[in-house]
Amino acid sequence: MFVYPEEVENPTRHDHYMLWIIIAACTASFLITLLMGTRETALQFGYIPATAEGSRIITSMFVHGGFLHLLGNMFFFWMFGDNVEDVIGSLPFMTCHLLAGVASIRVYDLLHPGSTIPLVGASGAISGVAGMYIVFFPTAAADLVFYFRSWEFGRFRTRVAYALGAWFGMQLILVLLVERTSLGESVRIAFSAHVGGFIAGIVLGSLFLLLGYMKRYKCKSDNRSWLLGYAT
């Protein structure tokens, strides 16, 4: 069983260019994966802790291991990313996305310093965006959906703070199971990267909160810039 948060009716006010640029980049990378093969792409562009090549930290965020991996990540990204970019603008959004991704990989690094398995996917960076969302819109409506494998067996309406909080709690439990039991031998999902990215997102979101972005957003200030958001 696992839980999944779904955003409900939190419309944006402005265009979100960077969100679509990142989605397009991930999709283009997936097309390259189809041409090269999943294994070859992961070995060439995925992050391998044992070698710790810095450039691969960035490239690994745009590579996915399959269509469902890409689709799931981009849907999660779209749900929460448009509102975050609405507040902080395109340039800070890209910067925070990458910073959260780096943080997520570094957390994974700490737990798997000698691993030779390539780490791929944008889920750590996207978890950071979700962390920023929970800081900006904790009382926004959300559905908490319960799944058993691919079967949905329940959902109920709640607030983002509870829905994303439950999802984060599940990631922590999965980290413990994967790292402390034999489950880690068969599960190839980097739950620790999700945790690291989410925490980084909360930190980044809190900084923007302290800088007054949400205050100006709620006041519907006319000083919003597409590039820098509600910076002034």
pLDDT digits (tens, 9 = 90+) for 74-130: 999 999 999 999 999 999 999 999 999 999 999 999 999 889 999 999 999 999 999
What's the pLDDT at 194? 97
Token representation of residue 10: 């939190």
Q: What is the pLDDT of residues 132-180, one digit of tens each?
A: 999 999 999 999 999 987 788 889 999 999 999 999 999 999 999 988 8
Q: Are 78 and 8 in contact, with CB atoms under 8 Å apart?
A: no
What's the one-letter identity of residue 39? R
Q: What is the pLDDT of residues 177-186, one digit of tens each?
A: 988 887 767 7
Cα dihedral 22→142→192→68 (10° resolution): -50
What is the Cα–Cα distance from 168 to 164, expressed in whole angstroms?
A: 6
**Per-residue pLDDT for 19 more than 80?**
yes
B/e letters for 49-58, b = 16+ CB within 10 Å, e = fewer, are beeeeeebbe
Kindly report the average pLDDT of the chain as a whole number. 94
- Delineate the domains of the chain, giving CATH numbers in brackets: 7-126+173-218 (1.20.1540.10)
